[in-house]
Structure 1
Amino acid sequence: MSKRTLFVVGGAILFVMVLFLVSVQIAKSLIGTDSESKLVAGEGVGLVEVKGMILDSKDTIRQLRYFLKKDDIKAVVLRVDSPGGVVAPSQEISDQVAKFAAKKKIIVSMGSLAASGGYYISAPASMIFANPGTITASIGVILKLSNIETLMDKIGIKSYTLKTGKYKDSGSPLRQMSPEDRAMLQAVIDNTHEQFVRAVAAGRKLPVEDVRKIADGRILSGEQALALKLVDRLGTLQDAVEEAGRQAGIKGEPEVVLPPKKKLNYMDLLVEGAEGSFKNALGQAAGGMKLMYEAE
């Protein structure tokens, strides 16, 4: 290899390395630091936001635990704007909200949508505010499956499955669902739905039978939810902040404090990217089967 070629290759490698390091620094600056962000002057109300699909619980739990440990944060407002999501993360966040409410006040402020899993995580709070037009409730469980067996036959592709039990490939898109499959999956859904009903009844201090009557997946407006005691008051985010301040005994307008953003380095980015890819691969291998607390 000539000296010129070595020089070109070396220069290219150096350029790529510099570009990578610069990209990492930009990413880290966009992600943020560990410093708090304060919105107004005064004393301490934390603000935790849950937006979009609930697919993971770690960051929300981290923020709630952060505020729980801070003596100068007297209460927290949990802003929920979510159609729900996967069952287990919704349950984990709900459990952390209940633990928070046992020690400090936590006031939920519902945005445009706080349904299914979004309602599940709200139920244990000290108080729930909704806007009159908020879409909420949708107390139910859904499992969506597809079947592509006919398509596979049309394009001439055959699939073969080796398994250890008759239920191991239940829900597979590559074969018809048997009556036994349907009964087994329905039992899982019914049990998970009952968990939702009990969680709402406990969080809202309502009779289980009263909750069960409306736990058919129906959505409700904020006004309807208020009439059914699923929320406590109609009001905005600012109303929820002011109420949190009053319940925490803060005089005057409370200071709203955002939690510190999670600080990542380039190794975290690489590992989390690989982890996400691995989870996606596992999900596809399992036929994408996920129980969801999700509003349709």
Structure 2
Amino acid sequence: MKRHPVIWGILLLFLLLFAFYFLVQGIASITGKRTAFSGANKIGIVDIEGIIKDSGEVVDHLNEFAKDDTVKGVILRINSPGGGVAPSQEIYDAVMELRKRKRVLASMSSVAASGGYLVACAGEKIIANSGTLTGSISAVMYFTNTEELMKKVGVKASVIKSGKYKDIGSPIREMTEEEKVLLQGLVDDIYSQFLDVVVRHRNITSETLKDIADGRIFTGRQAQKLGLVDYLGDKQYAVTMLAKLVGIEGEPVVVYPRKKYESMLDYVLQQTSSSLSAVLSTKQRFSYGIHYLMDDYDVRMMAPGNEVR
């Protein structure tokens, strides 16, 4: 039987299309990219992982989902002990903007405390695991005094400044009582801003909140009893709840933000850079300034090998 060239050409074309489809899907699964072949009933996941030092990437991800009409709702998956005040507030503000267009829920992982809890408050509802560490509603500044050490090794320092407070917090001398009062005022104001957010979003009075907002941490179960958390459950519980809220029938498609790299070579370079950055970043765990951050002991307890068991 003679082979018809047109039929064989059509079959070959279909084979090439199938091969291209699976190639695109395979690359997407490796790089974390979404493809145009997905349906319209999507739930977006934005991960907030580790100490919050910068808001840029998370805000970009939130804006990406805000513009994507196929994404019906967004889950904030938080695994963070907090971090810098400004980036925590910027993420919070970006979530509030997203809520004007999408339904948003917060899902807590191992820890969502201090700045991590501030971000969670922007969600319509907060879901935590029963063993999640959360709370730590507080603000803190860190300073180091090396004056005595410098004396022991024979090092002297001189300072020329334009104002009496220009070297406030200097590591080469003891802080004066006047300076401590000034900095305490800064911390108190930042703390007050945190309390305002919690009172605004949680069904809890400022008087009741101040009794528990002293830096202490809670389990997810304790936090639920105190009104800081709405439901107990894992990420899938949050996804299922959000799917019902936005009217998705059946199993929703869970998607993550697109990666910035656009090729396999970019992916390899990005992963290598990330690994190197992770090694280097262990030398400085957080920047100077005021922080919405769990106590340093608690942060160290969450490091690999030191998990609470």
Match of 2:293 in 1: 294
Tell me the secondary structure at the aligned position of residue 140 of structure 2.
coil
Report the AA paired with residue 161 of structure 2: K
Partner of residue 189, structure 1:
187
Q: One-letter code of the match for 1:151?
A: L
Moved more, 58-67 or 254-263: 254-263
* Partner in structure 2 of residue 82 of structure 1: 80
User: Which amino acid is 1:71 matched to?
Assistant: D
CA pair 130-34 structure 1, distance change in 2 beyond 3 A: closer
1:42 to 1:236, Cα distance in 2 relative to 1, 3 A: farther
- Give the number of equivalent residue pairs: 251
Pairwise CA distance, 1:204: 2.2
1:203 counterpart residue number: 201
TM-score normalised by structure 2 residue count: 0.75
Partner of 2:143: 145
For 1:74, the aligned partner's letter is K
Equivalent in the alignment of 2:256: 258
Q: Given that residues 41 and 254 in structure 1 are in contact (C-alpha distance below 8 angstroms), is that contact kept between their aligned partners in structure 2?
A: no
Alignment partner, residue 45 of structure 1? 43
Higher relative contact order (CA 8 A, sep 6+): 1
Task: Tell me the secondary structure at the aligned position of residue 189 of structure 1.
Answer: helix
Structure 1 window deviating more from structure 2 (102-111 vs 134-143): it is 102-111
Normalization by structure 1: what TM-score?
A: 0.78
- Give the whole-Å Cα distance in 2 for the aligned partners of 1:37 and 1:294: 37
Does the 8 A contact of 1:42 with 1:252 survive in 2? no
Once the 2 structures are TM-superposed, how far is the Cα of residue 200 of structure 1 from its aligned partner? 1.2
**Partner Cα distance (1:209, 1:91) in 2:** 23
Cα distance in 2 between the residues matched to 1:85 and 1:107: 21
Query: Structure 2: which 5+ runs fail to align?
Result: 1-26, 296-309
Partner of 2:100: 102
Equivalent position amino acid for 2:166 in 1:
K
State percent identity of aligned pairs: 41
Q: 2:166 aligns to what SS in structure 1?
A: coil
State how far apart, in whole Å, the 2-side matches of 1:41 and 1:209 are. 47
Deviations 1:58-87 (A, max 9, x none): 000000110011111000111000111111
Alignment partner of 2:168 out of 159, 167, 170: 170
Q: How far has the Cα of 1:263 moved from its partner?
A: 3.0
SS of match in other structure, 1:183? helix
Q: For 2:173, what is the secondary structure of its paired residue?
A: coil
CA contact under 8 A between 1:42 and 1:254: conserved in structure 2? Answer: no
1:61 is aligned to 59
Q: CA deviation at 1:209?
A: 2.5
Q: In structure 1, how many angstroms separate the alpha carbons of the residues matched to 2:145 and 2:52?
A: 26
Does the residue aligned with 2:156 lie in a helix, a strand or coil? coil
Partner in structure 1 of residue 236 of structure 2: 238
| Backbone CA RMSD of aligned residues | 2.7
For 1:210 and 1:199, locate their aligned partners in 2 and report how far apart those are by CA, in whole Å.
14
Tell me how far apart the structure 2 counterparts of residues 210 and 165 of structure 1 sit (CA, whole Å): 41
